[in-house]
Structures are given as C-alpha cells and as structure tokens.
Amino acid sequence: MPRIKLTDEEFVELWQRCKSAAEVAKISTLALRAVHSRRRTLEGKLGIALKAKNDRFLGSSEQAKKGRAASELAETRARIYKRDIQFDCTDGVVMIASDAHYWPGIVSLAHQAFCRVAKKLKPAAVIMNGDILDGARISRHARIMWEKQPDMKDEIHAVQDRMAEIERAAQGAKLLRTIGNHDSRFENYLSSRVGEFEEMWGMTLLDYLPRWEAGWAVHLNQGSDAWVAVRHRPLNGGVHSAYNSTLKAGVHYVHGHLHKLQVTPWADYRGRRYGVDTGTLAEPYGPQFNYTEAGPVNWCSGFIVLTFRDGRLLQPEMCSVEHGQAWFRGEKI
C-alpha cells in the first residue's frame, strides 16, 4: 500500500484526532518509528505538545522523567531567558558548539559530525553557544549588492530542523543554549518595530525551540574545581581571547563568537584550567559570511567535547573539519 504524504498541518490534525502513534501509523501507513520521530520534530518546530491517550512517559525511570520534562516544556513554552543556567556533571560528557548560523539548504560537515558524535558519546548535556540563527535580512548591516538572502521564515525553519536533528541524536541530554548577538537580532528587530505585539506567540525564539533552555550564560559545576562558564562572547577578543577569558574569569571559560576553535591552558597555584573558543559549526566560507569579501579567515569549523571524571575537567577535545573531512580523536567522523 503506498504511503500517504501528510503536510505538517495534516499530521497535527490526525494526531490530535487519534492521540495514538499506533493509530496514526495505521491510517497514514507510516512506520511507527517514523510517526514518533515526526511527532517530536513537530513539537519542537511548532512549539506545541502533541499529547497521547496513553502517554509513554509513565513510571519512575530516568527515561520516563526526562520524557515527561520534555513534554511539559513543550506544552508550557517557557518564555523567559535566564541570566545564568546551572547544570552539574561530575562524571560524563558535555558537548558544546557555537556559531552555526544555520542557513536554508545547507547542512555543514561540522553539524553532521556533531550529531554523529552525540549519538556515540550520549552526552549529559548539549550546549549551543550562541548564533544558531544568522538573521541576514534583519541585520543592521546593509545588504551587499544583489546577494541572495533567505527569508526569515526559511531561516527559522532551518534552525528548527537542525536543532531537532541534534535533539534526536543526543537523546536524553539536557538541551541548553546561550544567546548570541545574531540570535538577538530576531527579538531586537521585533521589539523595536512592533512592540505592541509583545508576549504574543512567535515574538521570541523561545517559542520556536521549546525544548531548549536558554539564557545568557551556562555554569557547569558552579563553585567546584570543575566550574566551567559558557558564554557566547569572550571576556577579551583578539588572538589571545581564550587565554585572557579564563585568566579574567578565574574558572574554565568557553566562548564562541570568534570562530577560531582553540584550547588554551593556564595554570597557577590553584591548578590548571582552560580557555576555549568553540569555533563555528558553519562552513567558514559559506554564504553567511559574504562580508569577508573572499578574504582569508582564521576560522575553523568544528566543536568542543568536555569530559568530566570524579568532579574534574579533563583536557577539552576538539572535533575539527580539515581538508573536507571531520576528525575526532584521530578518526574520521
């Protein structure tokens, strides 16, 4: 029997009528696994909760608790950016990527590698450290000649699709993101032009990514020797941004914004700590960066993996894209 092709709206209507993955699969002739996957994707994409008659997130297991929390977050769509987000990880992995500048029709090698590594490492948390959005058409910078720029809705859909892919790859991970200067373009543009629409749905990126807790900074293991501060911007720019940032912060410091991808250690009487630039999840010479006018850039596509053991941070690891291939721990990803 040929499968029925459903639009997003048709799928949502069918789900709300059946409230059962098995029934939706039977009517649509989709595989049961595909129905579950599309349900979660649309919850994130549309900022809604698609409830089931017999919610599978019952019981007291950790998986059930995480599932309930994700569903509750999708339903309530928290609309508040936090100043600081706290998360503890004494033993486990935290993956951090920055400056994805997701663009319609482009899926970068670094993004694909991030999803593969997340599926393999099963991180305790994933942090997208700012600038998941580019916001080309709402930038304060003028358009360059007749360059093609995507519509805002297409950019938002690309962000939702890529973030949903990360969520599926890192099943069970805490989903966190910091606010980048490009991300803020979306709400800055709306608040300065249509302020009377404040608090209506769709006026904040939070509405489009309901499962991702967002704020200005993430503090991992705050107050301990493994305290890691994660912010989009460095405390100092330039060539020595990572070094100066951990020096000034007094703790391990992870930033994005500069696209360089580097790990710089610093040691004093209290021990060894790290300053980290998370690089860019985008292609350095992609259409998002036409403003470089084809000049060379000291950027690197990739991301960072933090590993914690017995309450200590081990040396941060980089996954970098070089010569058209993503590399992690000496292997092609």
- pLDDT (tens digit, 9 = 90+) per residue, 161-195? 999 999 999 999 999 999 999 999 999 999 889 98
Nearest to 286 by CA among 131, 163, 107: 107
Average pLDDT over residues 303-307: 98
Nearest to 107 by CA among 290, 321, 323, 318: 321
Kindly state the percentage of the chain with pLDDT values over 70: 89
Answer yes or no: is pLDDT of 61 > 90: no
pLDDT at 50: 81
**255 with 278: CB under 8 angstroms?**
yes
Question: Comparing 73-77, 139-143, 216-220, which segment has the lowest mean pLDDT?
Answer: 73-77
Confidence of residue 28 (pLDDT cuts 50, 70, 90): confident
Average pLDDT over residues 60-72: 61
**124 with 173: CB under 8 angstroms?**
yes
Average pLDDT over residues 125-134: 97
Average pLDDT over residues 31-60: 72
Answer yes or no: is pLDDT of 2 > 60: no
pLDDT at 241: 95
Distance (Å, whole) CA 215 – CA 99: 16
Confidence of residue 76 (pLDDT cuts 50, 70, 90): low
pLDDT: which is higher, 38 or 329 = 329
Instruction: Give the CATH class of 77-332.
Output: alpha beta
**Burial of 74 by CB count in 10 Å (0-12 exposed, 13-18 middle, 19+ buried)?**
buried
In the 8-state DSSP scheme, what is residue 5?
A: P
Would you list the domain boundaries of the chain?
Answer: 8-74, 77-332
Distance (Å, whole) CA 147 – CA 13: 39
Nearest to 97 by CA among 106, 86, 109, 87: 109
What pTM was computed for the model? 0.79
Answer yes or no: is pLDDT of 1 > 60: no
